[in-house]
Amino acid sequence: MSIAVPAGARLVLATHNHKKVVELLAILRAQPGLAELPDDAVVTAADLGAPEPVEDGVTFEENALIKARALVRATGLPAVADDSGLAVDVLGGAPGIFSARWAGRHGDDQANLDLLLAQLAAITQPIHRRAGFVCAAALVTPDGEEEVCRGEMRGTLVDAPRGTNGFGYDPILVPDAQAPAADDGPGTRTAAELTPEEKNAISHRGQAFTELAPAVAAALLG
């Protein structure tokens, strides 16, 4: 399947999630060589009406590559994709790659949150509510070059959502690596209570895309 791309497009992001687009562009534009990247140089799978491939990989890395490879074949452009999720220690790493459809329907954030909180309701000690967001970010180019980078943001799950920023499971994870609270104690805000800039500086996606950014810059500028 071939998809026509707009004139000037130089990179395609494999996502239909607008909030993720904003987050990823902010991360990429903070990297050397990408700050002046024009808006029309980056298009998304949603912009192009590209179908989502079957994500039948068993790791975040495999699914990120599946999405990026599919877009390269369809558009002929370098493609960037990520696969992200929440890995809860006491659940053996679940929801993991099934995070976006944990409650049965893809992308129903509220249902996913409600189910996970119900599953953890009897586990009240913070030490047993440890978890981490994981992101595998992949770049695939038309000439077959591939690179995958991984990031993780560890933290503790709270028992009720807090905050309106972010998306997915952000309202229930208090990241370890955040600025101290006003009393200089550990930070207590969930990822959804952080500003976008604060979250990008410590997030799993920020880590993965910061590491991938030089390869993206080379694909765009080389």
Token reading at 87: 């890995």
Name residue 113's amino acid.
L
> Is 34 in contact with 220 (CB distance < 8 Å)?
yes
Instruction: Scan for tokens 């880590």, then name that residue.
Output: 207
Cis omega (within 30 of 0) for bond into 196: no
Q: Annotated catalytic residue: which of 40, 47, 82, 83?
A: 83
Instruction: Scan for tokens 């079957």, then name that residue.
Output: 54
| Sign of the dihedral through C-alpha 85, 102, 72, 9 | negative
40 as an active site residue: the answer is no
Cα 150 from Cα 138, distance rounded (Å): 9
Name residue 148's amino acid.
V
Cα 219 from Cα 215, distance rounded (Å): 6
Catalytic residues: 83
